[in-house]
Amino acid sequence: MSNLIPVQRVEDISLQYQSTPIGCLLAYHNLKHPFNAYTRAELLVGMCMDHRKHLHIPDNFAYIIRTGGANLRYSEFKVSYAIAVGGVSAIALIGHTDCGMVNLAARKSQFIENLVGNAGWTQTQAEEHFISFAPLFEIGNEVDFVLSEAKRLRHKYPKILIAPMLYRVEDNHLYLLDEGETRPSPTAQF
């Protein structure tokens, strides 16, 4: 994962994110900066529903949408709400290592067997459910997916600052993802 940019000091936060809600998120979570008080959210966090991740952030700082693989394709109305009504100016899109939405085909038997055993579905119902939905939620590779999702969201919300990140469950830290030279600047002013 050579695309990972560790944030171990304030100076490690990219200039484009300093003095923004993204910079604050990194400072709170990775650097354990003291919390400011918030009366409204400044940030939308899109992250995976995985139980191993917990963000160290103050109350009222962020809206958080948790969905498999940090896939916001089917949560766009919620994203739009956070921007239009909530007034957020930035989105932190956070994938994570060892994501269950990677290589779903390898989990097909377990998925079907446990829907039958734990939920009371028939074998046919469980198989059809997996076949219908697994392709919609398979993300391929965590890093590549988050980078492509950030690009898609930037196209849809061009004035919003969007930062692709990866949460390493191995050390509980957030890492910025290196997007290379092609990263577009947001049109919003911060």
pLDDT truncated to tens, each residue of the chain (190 aa)? Answer: 568 999 999 999 999 999 999 999 999 999 999 999 999 999 999 999 999 999 999 999 999 999 999 999 999 999 999 999 999 999 999 999 998 899 999 999 999 999 999 999 999 999 999 999 999 999 889 999 999 999 999 999 999 999 999 999 999 999 999 998 544 444 333 2
What is the spatial distance between Cα 62 and Cα 65, in angstroms, rounded to a whole number? Answer: 10
Strands 161-168 and 90-96: parallel
The Cα 158–Cα 177 span in angstroms is: 19
Nearest CA to 184 among 169, 163, 168? Answer: 163
Q: Closest by alpha carbon to 4, among 168, 170, 181? A: 168
Domain positions in the chain: 4-101+140-182, 103-138
In this prediction, residue 188 carries a pLDDT of 33
- Nearest Cα to 149, choosing from 99, 74, 84? 74
Is 4-101+140-182 CATH 3.40.50.1970?
Answer: no
Phi/psi at 141 (nearest 5 deg)? -125, 135
| pTM score of the predicted model | 0.89
Distance CA 44, CA 46 (A): 6
Asked if residues 25 and 165 have their Cβ atoms less than 8 Å apart, the reply is no
How much is the pLDDT for 1? 55
Closest CA to 154 of 142, 141, 164: 164
